[in-house]
């Protein structure tokens, strides 16, 4: 598809930063229920433990929190994971920046951003691919690490000859301690999605940044269990490029992947797409899984997301027996009214307001969840 044709198509469906009030068509009924969770605000990845509970990661901390799935509330249980990630307690920059999660063979796999800091500084702790098993007991849930966290996944990826044309090595630039232009939201590498494939044999790693010729990049990982359990060299499949886009200020902008999951009830992959930077433009797509098939924009669901103030979907959760999906919003950048600078991290107070992520009281940090029915 030519870029000009894509622009006409987006104009036709009205995908823009201005929300549309059109009613859903007969093939895509959209509804939503909103809930609010507290105790964290930077919800970045999640999986369903069962019908009633979610396990949610915060990209600012190495603590996983269990929440009720469909009702507002605080964490039911916290699972610290610093030690299991081999991150020293006194590390100056301990956050692993967890961004993606999925379930495969009864294990929960997680992936960090593998990106630099917002100033383009190299962060070793953000290079983690790991897994766990979770069991339910009378006293709650218990989690055990599966194998050993992999710290070299992306280094192996960018050295793969098939990735050279995609610009991944340049976006990572391994070996340089600080490159401001390679911050994750500018030109740097940034992983944000992880999902089990439809056949249940492997994983798809999805990038928010960089794009290649305006297309989002997915990379199959064919041996995830062996990588962690046997410290085997990652076996990657051929990369996949998907045209995901939005119309912003009259221009077509390519989008990367924020979250991806395979939905058995839809017989397709569902993707949350968003820009590499902080622009609040998001779109929901359905994709067959065939590399030559273009993703289908879910217009009404996208418009529904756009009508919710400052909703930034970062985690998509599917149930194999349900047609609706759950989306969690990363609300760390939302401004919260505070009484004094003492309520905020040093240097983050702004005229009576503070971004949620900088609040010193975790009980005031919140994030939102919605359910959207796509049938």
Q: Is 208 a domain residue?
A: yes
Q: Is 198 a domain residue?
A: yes
Distance CA 10, CA 252 (A): 8
Burial class (CB in 10 A: 0-12, 13-18, 19+), 83: exposed
How many domains does one find in the chain?
A: 1
HSE toward the beta carbon, residue 236, CA cutoff 13 A: 18
208 compared with 26, residue with greater pLDDT: 208
Whether the per-residue pLDDT at 247 is higher than 90: the answer is: no
Q: Is 9 a domain residue?
A: yes
HSE toward the beta carbon, residue 327, CA cutoff 13 A: 33
Q: Is the distance from CB of 211 to CB of 217 less than 8 angstroms?
A: yes
Q: Which helix (H) or strand (E) holds 44?
A: strand 43-48
Q: Is 354 a domain residue?
A: no
Torsion sign across C-alpha atoms 322, 41, 95, 99: positive
DSSP character for 48? E
Q: Is 156 a domain residue?
A: yes
Q: Is 340 a domain residue?
A: no
Range of 40's domain?
Answer: 3-17+30-326
Nearest to 13 by CA among 370, 284, 216: 284
**Strand, coil or helix: what is 10?**
helix
Q: Is 261 a domain residue?
A: yes
Give the model's confidence band at 278: pLDDT under 50 very low, under 70 low, under 90 confident, else very high. Answer: confident
Laid out side by side, the sheet with 43-48 consists of 43-48, 53-58, 63-68, 77-80
Torsion sign across C-alpha atoms 39, 41, 46, 52: positive
Torsion sign across C-alpha atoms 222, 269, 182, 129: negative
pLDDT at 373: 84
Distance CA 228, CA 145 (A): 10
pLDDT at 99: 98
pLDDT at 32: 53
Q: Is the distance from CB of 136 to CB of 152 less than 8 angstroms?
A: no
Q: Is 336 a domain residue?
A: no
**Rounded to the nearest 5 degrees, what angle is found at the Cα of 214, between the Cα atoms of 211 and 218?**
45
Distance of CA 125 to the CA centre of its chain: 18
Give the model's confidence band at 33: pLDDT under 50 very low, under 70 low, under 90 confident, else very high. Answer: low
Tell me the average pLDDT across 187-196. 97
pLDDT digits (tens, 9 = 90+) for 58-114: 999 999 999 999 899 999 999 999 999 999 888 999 999 999 999 999 999 999 999
Strand 256-263 and strand 251-254: the pairing is: unpaired
Backbone angles phi, psi at 228, to 5 degrees: -90, -40
Distance CA 132, CA 119 (A): 31
pLDDT digits (tens, 9 = 90+) for 304-339: 998 998 999 999 999 988 889 999 999 999 999 999
**CATH code of the domain containing 181:** 2.120.10
Distance CA 98, CA 132 (A): 14
Q: Is the distance from CB of 100 to CB of 191 less than 8 angstroms?
A: yes
Q: Is the distance from CB of 327 to CB of 372 less than 8 angstroms?
A: yes
Distance CA 99, CA 222 (A): 20
pLDDT digits (tens, 9 = 90+) for 346-364: 999 999 999 999 999 999 9
Query: What is the DSSP code string of 195-219?
Result: EE-TTSS-EEEEEEE--BTTBEEEE
């Amino acid at each position: 598809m030519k870029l000009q044709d894509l622009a006409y198509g987006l104009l036709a469906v009205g995908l823009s930063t201005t929300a549309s009030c059109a009613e859903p068509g007969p093939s895509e009924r959209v509804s939503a229920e909103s809930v609010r969770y507290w105790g964290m605000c930077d919800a970045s990845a999640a999986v369903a433990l069962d019908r009633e509970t979610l396990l949610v990661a915060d990209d600012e901390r190495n603590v996983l929190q269990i929440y009720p799935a469909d009702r507002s509330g605080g964490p039911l249980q916290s699972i610290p994971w610093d030690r299991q990630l081999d991150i020293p307690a006194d590390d100056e920059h301990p956050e692993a920046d967890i961004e993606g999660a999925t379930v495969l063979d009864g294990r929960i796999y997680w992936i960090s951003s593998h990106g630099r800091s917002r100033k383009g500084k190299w962060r070793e702790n953000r290079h983690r691919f790991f897994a766990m098993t979770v069991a339910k007991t009378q006293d709650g849930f218990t989690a055990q690490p599966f194998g050993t966290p992999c710290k070299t996944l992306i280094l192996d990826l960018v050295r793969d000859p098939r990735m050279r044309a995609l610009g991944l090595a340049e976006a990572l630039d391994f070996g340089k301690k600080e490159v401001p232009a390679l911050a994750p939201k500018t030109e740097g590498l940034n992983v944000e999605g992880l999902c089990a494939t439809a056949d249940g044999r492997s994983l798809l790693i999805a990038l928010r940044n960089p794009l290649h010729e305006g297309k989002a990049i997915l990379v199959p990982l064919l041996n995830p269990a062996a990588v962690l359990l046997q410290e085997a060299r990652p076996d990657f499949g051929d990369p996949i490029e998907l045209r995901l886009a939005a119309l912003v200020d009259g221009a077509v902008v390519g989008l990367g992947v924020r979250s991806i999951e395979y939905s058995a009830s839809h017989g397709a992959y569902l993707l949350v797409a968003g820009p590499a930077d902080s622009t609040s433009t998001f779109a929901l797509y359905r994709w067959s899984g065939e590399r030559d098939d273009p993703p289908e924009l879910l217009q009404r669901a996208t418009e529904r997301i756009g009508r919710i103030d400052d909703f930034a979907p970062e985690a998509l959760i599917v149930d194999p027996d349900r047609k609706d999906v759950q989306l969690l919003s990363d609300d760390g950048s939302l401004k919260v009214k505070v009484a004094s600078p003492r309520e905020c991290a040093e240097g983050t107070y702004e005229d009576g307001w503070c971004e949620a992520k900088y609040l010193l009281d975790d009980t005031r940090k919140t994030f939102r969840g919605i359910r959207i029915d796509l049938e």
